[in-house]
Amino acid sequence: MCTSLAAKLLAIRNDGQSATRLLRTAPYIGAAFLGCSIGEQTMKRRDLLAGLAGIPFAAGLGATAAAQDAYPNRLVKILVPFGPGGSTDIISRLVGKQLETVTGKPFVIENKPGATGMIGTTQVKNAPADGYTLLLGSTSTLAANPSLYKQMTYDPSDFTTVAVNGSIGNFMLVKPDAPYKTVKEFVAYAKSRKEPLFSGYGNASSRVPSALFEVTTGVKFEEVAYRDAVASIQDLHAGRVDCVFPDQVVGESYVRSGYVRALAVTSRERSALFPDVEAIAETYPDYAIIAYSCFSVRKETPDDIKRKLNRLIMDAIYEPSVMERVRQLGFNPVPREWGIDQCDAFVVREREDWTKYIKLAKIEPQ
């Protein structure tokens, strides 16, 4: 048993394996060492130290040693804090599929809707900071919610944004047979009524454009909250609400099919995908608001994993077939070379802008 001790250590060292392998082998090495005579132990102690000198140790063995292994080396979960079919869900699946192709590891999408994204976002906050649970962040969760709710179960500073997918304007949708064809006609119709119109929203990024429209135009809405944007569009079609303001990714298929009608877009310019749909800013120049989505991780995640995710995701977004679909959805991508600092700074700026929007819209925190 004694004669094989040095050989065991040298095999681990020469094979380039880590402290994790040593931990698995330790009981056998210990048994071999104790089985030696006193003289042999003296000799083997030298062998043991020589063998250990060639094995890469990381501080804290366990989790830190695992972090040194090639990332990713197992399944990665992308948690989307909204239901299927929304912009965050669609983007996560596009990018996740490309990441699987590049890394050879599964990237699984998990939808966790509820509380305007707070439930799913909090789940990521409470997950291990190892890069294997990603948050599909958005305007709602990282920019608007902090100004809309007094009791938050997370803080945006709990996360580092490692990649930005791009920005996009929202639609202002109405029923196909609605009597108004322009923003000006809609406002005139709303002001002619004694009772307010109903505006539905499925998240913060569709609620704030509606409230800002009220303040800007002087119309009055009764707000109706939904679990997600798709449910609000379905109720619009059914005539239970008069308008909704979902992002263009969510609304695109419903507009193209004639299920609902796009009266306007919230971006300052018209959408290249819908050039016949006016921008609200054409009638009300002070009105303009956009949304975004991103990939974030817990801030305590090791820096090397953050950097790896940044390059993997930004390259995935710019893969030609993915980029074609991203542009088809109406997203305006950020530069491919953006690193973590630029991505994180973008999200901070957007949070500052949305804080201003919410104050202008006179929405009181709940």
pLDDT digits (tens, 9 = 90+) for 150-181: 999 999 999 999 999 998 899 999 999 999 99
Domain identity same for 96 and 53: no
Q: Can you tell me the distance from the alpha carbon of 174 to that of 243, in angstroms, rounded to the nearest whole number?
A: 5
Domain identity same for 304 and 280: no
Q: Are 172 and 263 in contact (CB under 8 A)?
A: yes
Q: Grade residue 69 by pLDDT with cuts at 50, 70 and 90.
A: low
Q: Of 264, 288, 312, which residue sits at a domain end?
A: 288
DSSP code at position 155: -
Sign of CA dihedral 16, 20, 23, 24: negative
**Cis omega before residue 176 (within 30°)?**
no
More confident residue, 21 or 349: 349
Whether 95 and 134 share a structural domain? yes
The residue from 67, 101, 119 where one domain ends is 67
pLDDT tens readout for residues 11-29: 434 444 443 344 344 433 4
Are 98 and 162 in a shared domain?
yes
Q: How far is CA 358 from the centre of its chain?
A: 22
Residue 86: what pLDDT? 75
Residue 199 and residue 258 in one domain: yes
Q: Are residues 227 and 187 in the same domain?
A: yes
What is the tens place of the pLDDT at every residue in 207-239?
999 999 999 999 999 999 998 889 999 999 999
Q: Are the beta carbons of 172 and 288 closer than 8 angstroms?
A: no
Same domain? For 42 and 11 the reply is yes
- Kindly tell me the sign of the dihedral angle through the C-alpha atoms of 348, 331, 152, 96: negative
10 Cβ contact list (under 8 Å, min separation 6) = 51, 54
* 146 pLDDT above the threshold of 60: yes
Which pair of tokens denotes residue 39? 């003289």
Which pLDDT band holds residue 84 (cuts at 50, 70, 90)?
Answer: confident
Which residue range is the domain that position 14 belongs to?
Answer: 2-67
Q: For residue 206, tell me if it sits in a domain.
A: yes
Considering the domain architecture, whether residues 114 and 263 belong to the same structural domain is answered as no
Looking at residues 70-92, what average pLDDT do you find?
90
Helix runs in the chain, H state only: 5-14, 19-34, 38-53, 62-68, 87-103, 118-125, 139, 145-148, 183-192, 204-217, 229-237, 248-256, 280-283, 303-317, 320-328, 340-360
- For residue 359, give every residue at least 6 positions away whose Cβ sits within 8 Å of its Cβ, in sequence order, or none: 147
Q: Please tell me whether residues 324 and 308 are part of one structural domain.
A: yes
3-state class percentages of the chain: helix first, strand second, coil last, to nearest 5: 50, 15, 35
Same domain, 104 and 247: no
Given this model, what pLDDT does residue 41 score?
Answer: 43
CA dist 151 to 54, 147, 154, 155, Å?
A: 52, 10, 9, 10
Report how many domains make up the chain: 3
User: Do 149 and 297 fall into the same domain?
Assistant: yes
Tell me what pLDDT residue 250 has.
85
The encoded tokens of residue 277 equal: 């749909």
Domain boundary among the residues 42, 67, 92 is at 67
- Token pair for residue 127? 């997950």
Q: 60 near 91, Cβ under 8 Å?
A: no
CATH code of 347's domain: 3.40.190.150
Q: What percent of the chain has pLDDT over 70?
A: 81
Q: What is the CATH number of the domain that holds 266?
A: 3.40.190.10
Q: Could you tell me if residue 365 is inside a domain?
A: no
Query: Is residue 366 in some structural domain?
Result: no
Q: Identify whether 277 is part of a domain.
A: yes
Closest CA to 54 of 95, 11, 97, 104: 11
CA–CA dist 154, 348 (Å, integer): 15
**pLDDT number for residue 127:** 97
Examine residue 59 and state whether it is found in any structural domain, yes or no: yes
My answer on whether 298 and 157 are in the same domain is yes
Query: Which residue in 286, 233, 285, 296 sits closest to 261, CA to CA?
Result: 233
